[in-house]
Amino acid sequence: VLVGGRASTAVPADVSSDDDAVLQWMSRKGSPVVTMAPHVGLVGDPFTLTGETAQYTTTQTSTVLVDPTVGKRVVVTKVQIQAGGTTAGTMQLYFGAGAYSRGTNLAIFDGEFAPSTTLKPGVVMDGPFIGAVNDDLRVTDSAAINPLTVTVWYFEI
């Protein structure tokens, strides 16, 4: 049994219809080519990649950052969180319909920041993080981490 693919330096063209057979994409040396999925804007773009940024200066409790279209789910591809000021606190970025419950809600980030006059901690995370249908993406923090900046890049499916 020989398993092979088509060697090419270019992205393969679409096939003619659903359920059509496709060849594996291989480099000219025979190595399989693995690339990012089309929804990140590299090959075609069936999904609209968008972003949301919010900067909070007061304590947040279950604040909606992304509210998906009815019947859709949010797919987060990247997250950036930055804490400033000098107030320490915990922060959660999570999918859900209400207040954060550790171990119940699907948390993307659940951690603590302790900024100072000389240290402004932050985190960057790559997804995908996929919420349930109609689940909002929410922010909760335990103190007025001032400022607390949250940026997410996402699309809906």
Q: Supply 102's token pair.
A: 């550790």
Question: Which is it for the CA torsion 83, 129, 110, 55, positive or negative?
Answer: positive
H helical segments located in 1-124: none
pLDDT grade for 157, boundaries at 50, 70 and 90:
confident
pTM for the model: 0.74
Q: Please, which pLDDT band fits residue 107 given cuts at 50, 70 and 90?
A: very high
Mark out the alpha helices in the chain (DSSP H runs): none
Contact 59, 146 (CB under 8 A): no
Alpha-carbon gap, residue 83 to 6, rounded angstroms:
48
- At 37-84, the pLDDT tens digits run 544 444 455 667 899 999 999 999 999 999 999 999 999 999 999 999
Element (H, E) at 44: none
